[in-house]
């Protein structure tokens, strides 16, 4: 049955929540390692820091570098990633059903990511969704990024839904903080690119309203929402 407090709009984080981009990131980072005679990293090691962004991944691969040398590696890494941005990236298995439900119920949805626009646009250009996102906010759309609430508030405005009737789903603590700061309901995507957490914090690591262990759980949850 529908939840007591209505949710009329869904907003997603991108990497690690809506899309599994980890394989293309891992390829690009390890190719950068090879190009600079650095030992490649294990996929699972890279996966845990994808949501922290390009700089964090570059620092993971080149921990002894800083300044211009580190920035040169980061730019090299991002160039390779851009050229291979959608080789293996897909909607998380199990989440397509949820997106179909949103389309069938005419529930607006959008994307709010800290990924820069030039990468977001290239990635989304080759993906097809059951319905079009009404808002796509990238990390450089505004002068501030998550956990500042402004990107989420802009997304809600573009979706023509009050913030308190939006649900923001993400796989990083800044996602939950941003959603809470915006007065939205929030949900943690526990299948995303989370770092290692203490056993006692694995089930509900952040102060979110909902916690989803799998993408399929999100799809099932969407079936409880009312159409607008």
Would you give the distance in Å from CA 114 to the centre of its chain? 8
Does 196 qualify as catalytic in the annotation?
A: no
The sheet carrying 109-112 orders its strands as 135-137, 109-112, 9-12, 166-170, 185-189, 210-212
3-state class of 213 per DSSP?
A: coil
Q: At 73, give phi and psi (nearest 5°).
A: -65, -40
Question: Among residues 13, 15, 20, 171, which one is catalytic?
Answer: 13
C-beta of residue 11 within 8 angstroms of C-beta of residue 111: yes
d(CA 144, CA 221): 31
Strand residues in 39-94 grouped as ranges (E): 90-91
Residue with tokens 């802009």: 154
CA torsion, ordered 90, 227, 133, 182, to nearest 10 deg: -100
Q: Active-site positions?
A: 13
């Amino acid at each position: 049955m529908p939840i007591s407090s209505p949710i009329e709009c869904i907003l997603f984080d991108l990497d690690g929540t809506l899309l599994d981009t980890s394989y293309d990131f891992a390829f690009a980072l390890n190719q950068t390692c090879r190009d600079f005679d650095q030992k490649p990293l294990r996929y699972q090691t890279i996966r845990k820091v994808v949501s922290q962004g390009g700089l964090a991944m570059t620092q993971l691969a080149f921990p002894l570098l800083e300044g211009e040398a580190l920035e040169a590696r980061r730019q090299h890494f991002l160039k390779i990633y851009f050229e291979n941005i959608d080789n293996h990236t897909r909607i998380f298995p199990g989440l397509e059903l949820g997106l179909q439900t949103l389309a069938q119920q005419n529930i607006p949805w959008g994307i709010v990511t800290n990924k820069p626009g030039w990468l977001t646009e290239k990635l989304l250009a080759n993906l097809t969704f059951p319905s079009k996102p009404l808002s796509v906010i990238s990390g450089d759309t505004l002068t501030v990024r998550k956990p500042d609430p402004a990107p989420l508030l802009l997304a809600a405005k573009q979706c023509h839904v009050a913030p308190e009737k939006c649900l923001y789903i993400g796989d990083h603590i800044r996602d939950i903080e941003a959603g809470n700061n915006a007065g939205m309901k929030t949900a943690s995507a526990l299948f995303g690119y989370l770092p290692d957490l203490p056993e006692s914090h694995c089930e509900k690591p952040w102060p979110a309203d909902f916690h989803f262990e799998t993408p399929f759980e999100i799809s099932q949850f969407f079936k409880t929402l009312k159409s607008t």
